[in-house]
């Protein structure tokens, strides 16, 4: 175990998970407002998009925070960032939307690292892996 690397991986997971947890929680507690915003942004199948968004953002954010199923969750959240950038943030005449578009792409890049390298030793993934090895 490389303490510095594993600690840095934990800090990175915590920092990037916060935006998803808060976003998913905000959607969960305000379904009508969220669905209205989705409709304004032109999201397809708003009634389906809402629970999917909550599950991906809140569930994925919590899994990332805990380091559980980190590689596939990182990949899924990265793809989510790209999809939401393309659906909701392409009005580049609005500087705020351009910034959100680029923010989503940057987050997708960070999540590509998560998908490639996993959670590190300070995670549920690592604890489960250690338990499986000990059980052999």
- Nearest of 91, 96, 60 to residue 78 by alpha carbon: 60
Q: What is the pLDDT of residues 52-70, one digit of tens each?
A: 999 999 999 999 999 999 9
Q: Which residue ranges of the chain lie beneath pLDDT 70?
A: 1
Backbone φ/ψ region at 2: left (φ over 0), alpha (ψ -120 to 50), beta: beta
Domain assignment of residue 18, given as a range: 3-135
Q: Are 76 and 52 in contact (CB under 8 A)?
A: no
Q: What percent of the chain has pLDDT over 70?
A: 99
d(CA 131, CA 39): 46
- Dmax (CA) of the chain: 59
- Number of domains forming the structure of the chain: 1
């Amino acid at each position: 175990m490389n303490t510095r690397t594993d600690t840095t991986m934990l800090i990175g997971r915590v920092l990037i998970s916060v935006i998803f947890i808060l976003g998913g929680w905000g959607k969960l507690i305000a379904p009508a407002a969220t669905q209205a915003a989705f409709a304004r942004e032109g999201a397809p199948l708003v009634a389906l998009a809402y629970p999917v968004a909550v599950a991906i953002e809140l569930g994925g954010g919590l899994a990332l925070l805990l380091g559980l199923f980190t590689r596939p969750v990182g990949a899924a959240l990265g793809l989510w960032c790209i999809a939401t950038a393309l659906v909701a943030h392409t009005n580049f005449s609005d500087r705020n939307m351009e910034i959100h578009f680029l923010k989503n792409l940057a987050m997708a890049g960070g999540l590509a690292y998560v998908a490639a390298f996993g959670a590190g030793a300070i995670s549920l993934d690592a604890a489960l892996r250690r338990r499986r090895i000990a059980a052999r």
